[in-house]
Structure 1
């Protein structure tokens, strides 16, 4: 076998492995999403209240993780909260006030795509809050979260990590891909440039707000697919749900078309078929 044929064979083997790994990932993900549907049914029936917090480095994969969790369940049960920058009115409120209003009622799971931990990360590093306020937040938060758990809320906190090289690769991919450019904000660029300032802030945040009642769970995310499988599996294992029996409805018979029914011609605007 000559060198050219060997190269083609190696490339074919790599491509085949990618396809096999993709199939294995999708098979695992389908099983997990079925379990998320069972979790949803149990949450609705039991009236459970669940809060899931996702924090982490920019481009660590929080959005993709949340999409995979929520894409096959009801948005009325799994509510995703991704708050914009606070308004002038919200800046004058008690800091946690803007988050509390989004907390779950009975039968709901609320997923925070970033949360009150903005104060310990971007707000602290970028100087949007004083160092005194940031330290006070770190001191008070464990007590606040303990009160949430004592009230019956199931609280899960995940921090997604990504290496410097992988973050840069993802940022450059966003720059080059029009479908991803919207994901790249000025704050992302700053977080890339100030990696080690964020590292110190996150290290202290994790150390001071990790507790037995509301521990942090670290999700290595250089491999996005592995991270999603691991994290969703952990969520399911951390909530004591049970499968709820589905009572299949009887559709019965559809009524016959009345003899005097005439279809309306009032709506004449039909979307053109472009295929």
Structure 2
């Protein structure tokens, strides 16, 4: 893409923003804030890679990624939002949702995985549910990653040729090509009903993944009212003198074979 963000500029911005996210996380911990960030969008829109960059240097005990599997038969008998409630953050936690309750307004609606009655109930209840979260003090951010049909298909074909990423292609993913307009209509209706003042939708143009990652990180940092938290002074203690401990012979333990050393030998012999 001619308009792709220069790699060197991207790397510099990424490093700066990730450092600020670490500082923001410290504020979340100290202040007892609760933050939920929803990442939604079409398949291959870059949600997963954005989440990876956001969370890369964050403490997984503080910042959790929630990516729920398809609902079980038991889940289907419960209130729709019930399976998401246990994953909401406690004080001092942040949750990044790789897809969310908006599955019902997107893939479930388009693929016929829910009834029209369930769909209409969701459109009515989602704003109420989210207002309750915000009213209770949760910071709720909702991002829609927007990708063009051409770029989406390019990414699908790239995954097909890459054995490391082929698992990302499912029949449901591929159906997004043949049902492009259906997904577009579903997204428009979802925005119409759930783009509320208390929890608005923010769109991220994601044909260029570098730009989309930088933009979403910068926006998160601008919407969470964090401030610099003073760091405690940390001193590494001196190691005390040895007191006669002797390590048991290495042969007593089951050691992992030194595969790295074997690779080095092969490389040396090839030269």
Q: Which range, TM-score by smaller chain?
A: over 0.9
RMSD between aligned residues: 1.5
Of 157, 168, 172 in structure 1, the residue corresponding to residue 142 of structure 2 is 157
Determine whether 1:121 maps to 2:106: yes
Determine whether 1:193 maps to 2:178: yes
Residue matched to 1:91: 76
Residue matched to 1:262: 246
Q: CA deviation at 1:251?
A: 1.2
Question: What is the CA–CA distance in structure 1 between the aligned matches of 2:150 and 2:158, rounded to whole Å?
Answer: 12
Question: What is the CA–CA distance in structure 1 between the aligned matches of 2:128 and 2:79, rounded to whole Å?
Answer: 16
Residue matched to 2:257: 271
Determine whether 1:107 maps to 2:110: no
Q: How many residues align?
A: 258
Of 42, 46, 57 in structure 1, the residue corresponding to residue 27 of structure 2 is 42
Question: What is the CA–CA distance in structure 1 between the aligned matches of 2:199 and 2:149, rounded to whole Å?
Answer: 28
Question: What is the CA–CA distance in structure 1 between the aligned matches of 2:198 and 2:257, rounded to whole Å?
Answer: 54
Paired residue secondary structure (1:109): strand
Unmatched 5+ residue regions in structure 1?
1-13
Paired residue secondary structure (1:101): helix
Residue matched to 1:208: 193
Residue matched to 2:133: 148
Question: What is the CA–CA distance in structure 2 between the aligned matches of 1:252 and 1:171, rounded to whole Å?
Answer: 52
CA deviations 1:192-242 (Å, max 9, x no partner) are 111011110011001110011000000010011001111110000000001
Question: What is the CA–CA distance in structure 1 between the aligned matches of 2:75 and 2:122, rounded to whole Å?
Answer: 17
Unmatched 5+ residue regions in structure 2?
265-271
CA deviations 1:79-110 (Å, max 9, x no partner) are 00000001111111111000001000011001
Describe the shift of the 1:99–1:252 C-alpha distance in structure 2 as closer, same or farther (beyond 3 A).
same
Q: TM-score, normalised by structure 2?
A: 0.92
Q: TM-score, normalised by structure 1?
A: 0.91
Question: What is the CA–CA distance in structure 2 between the aligned matches of 1:237 and 1:87, rounded to whole Å?
Answer: 37
Matches within 5 A, 1:232-247: 232-247=217-232
Paired residue secondary structure (1:76): coil
Q: CA deviation at 1:270?
A: 4.0
Question: What is the CA–CA distance in structure 2 between the aligned matches of 1:69 and 1:264, rounded to whole Å?
Answer: 43
Question: What is the CA–CA distance in structure 2 between the aligned matches of 1:267 and 1:187, rounded to whole Å?
Answer: 47
